[in-house]
Amino acid sequence: MAIGAVVIGAVVIGAVENGAVVIGCAMLRVVLLSVLLALGGACARRVVRETPGSAPAPATAPVSPTPTTAVAPAAPYSTRPATQRLTVVHLSDSEAGLLPDPAQPKAGGLARTQAVIVALKERAGGNVMVLHGGDSFIPAPELSLEVDGRSAVLTGNDQLLVQASGLGNHEFDLGESFLADAIKAAAFPYVSATLEVKGGPLRALVVDVAADTPWAHDVKGKLVPRVKVCAAEWMEGACRGLVVGVVGSTTEQLRVLSKGASADLAVPRDLDGVRAAVQSQVDALEAEGLHIIVLLSHLQGIGRDLELAKSLRGVDVIVSAGGENRLASERHRLLPGDVVDRACAALGEPCYPAARVGADGKPILLVATAGDLRYVGNLGVSFDDEGVLTQVDAEASHPWPVDEMSLLELRATLDGATVAFQQRALTALAPLLEPVAQTDVWLEGTREEVRNRQTNLGDLSADSMLWAARTARPDVAAALRNGGGIRAPIGRLDPSSY
């Protein structure tokens, strides 16, 4: 028997209840029509949850699916006087989250994200840096759309004030030539200590750092293993404040996760290899006298980074990316329908940041946020004169939902030019935004569910592929849907119900 329309994955094929329902694409990221599914062209967007017959979680007091009862282990903070303060503003997995979510029109989008970042920088008052954990773009209509001759998503990334970005797996999805062009035009460097480029289009962009670590602003549009970031004002060729070392790590599973990675690229075989590659760059930074170091780690989730953290020396903060872990404490406000990440049950309180102990016996903090430009993380920390963490500013440190309430609280103002740019993209993409069908059933496509167990959206997706394939080949026996190819659930909250 011939097997057609096969996508390798872990979703179990099941029967479609009530017939072959065809679902429309809400704001370009909800799984599309059955024919598009068969072609692998579905787009997805995280939307908020609507479960018939059950009350949604209130916006001001989200409840974790697994109660957070653990208490985080005490971190060995320095007892010496704090002499330096740093604010790390961070985001990750923004992918193609250029436009606001139609299910929550007052949340998300480029303009609001930019406004939140600008306001957080102003609130910090000094010694603040903006970092991206990776997966800064993904194949989607927004990425294909050109505004003034350049991809709308890539132009949007440059408007987020990012000083350095990690390199994830989705940047490779359209191949190395596309990635090379994207990096070359970026207003910031991409940082990865675990990616070895032996040849191909990326090779010309690699900065082989030997002794002196380059400043991030001097290697914009380049691929580097480590950089120095001026977290303060740059004047007359010098940083007038705190200098922070930044190292990046790309997942060792790159070849499994992205078809765009060729034989010209090499990554470590396992987590030990990742640790060795990262540690060598951290050691080089410390040899230059830098003792405050941030790791942009794109290892696909907080669990991997927790393993890595305990084997590292000299790293103070890990921005964990790739897993879209919504680390937060119970008291932190989240977007309606969102809940604290299940990992927090084991991490304990506080979950943002999660404090652990490195191989050097010093504290190391881990932070992570959900993607699609729905959250911006804000971590405030202090260091002693030797660069050892002394404390976390608990009031300042938490994920900020990208919504109107945060804009009000931060007294943030939308930038007119960015709003106009976003509107141009929205207008150009409007024909794709028209709904083509409706469902009365919540379709479960959240990352945690669809990548670990059977869901109705996984069933629908796989069965739609099978139906479409059989229109051309009646002898097709089965269709397998990759859980990672389903990017969002289908459904929305009714704000009037609470």
Query: Mean per-residue pLDDT for 149-166?
Result: 97
The pLDDT, as a whole number, for residue 232 is 94
* pLDDT bracket for residue 55 (50, 70, 90): very low
| Per-residue DSSP letter, 438 | -
User: What φ, ψ does residue 72 adopt, rounded to 5°?
Assistant: -65, 145
Closest CA to 73 of 359, 397, 357: 357
Cβ(90)–Cβ(377) under 8 Å? Answer: yes
Closest CA to 351 of 331, 327, 368: 327
Reported as a single tens digit per residue, the pLDDT across 34-45 is: 333 333 333 333
- Reading the block at residue 43, the tokens are 């787009």
Reported as a single tens digit per residue, the pLDDT across 223-261 is: 999 999 999 999 989 999 999 999 999 999 998 888 878
Burial of 413 (0-12, 13-18, 19+ CB in 10 A): exposed
* pLDDT bracket for residue 370 (50, 70, 90): very high
Cβ(313)–Cβ(291) under 8 Å? Answer: no
Neighbours of 225 (CB within 10 A): 23
Q: Which residue has the higher pLDDT, 113 or 337?
A: 113
| Per-residue DSSP letter, 432 | G
- Reading the block at residue 298, the tokens are 């794109």
What residues does 229 pair with on adjacent strands?
244
Reported as a single tens digit per residue, the pLDDT across 438-478 is: 888 888 888 778 888 899 999 999 999 999 999 999 999 99
- Reading the block at residue 295, the tokens are 């790791």
Closest CA to 107 of 496, 495, 433: 495
Name the pairing type of β-strands 146-147 and 150-151.
antiparallel
- Give just the sign of the alpha carbon dihedral 407, 408, 410, 416: positive
Kindly give, in sequence order, each residue whose CB lies less than 8 Å from that of residue 122, ignoring residues fewer than 6 positions away.
none
For residue 496, the number of C-alpha atoms closer than 13 Å in the C-beta half-sphere is 0
The pLDDT, as a whole number, for residue 104 is 84
**What single-letter amino acid sits at 155?**
T
Report whether the peptide linkage leading into residue 102 is cis, meaning its omega lies within 30 degrees of zero: no
Question: Of 29-38, 71-80, 122-131, 394-403, where does mean pLDDT reach its minimum?
Answer: 29-38
- Reading the block at residue 479, the tokens are 């269709």
- Reading the block at residue 339, the tokens are 């809940």
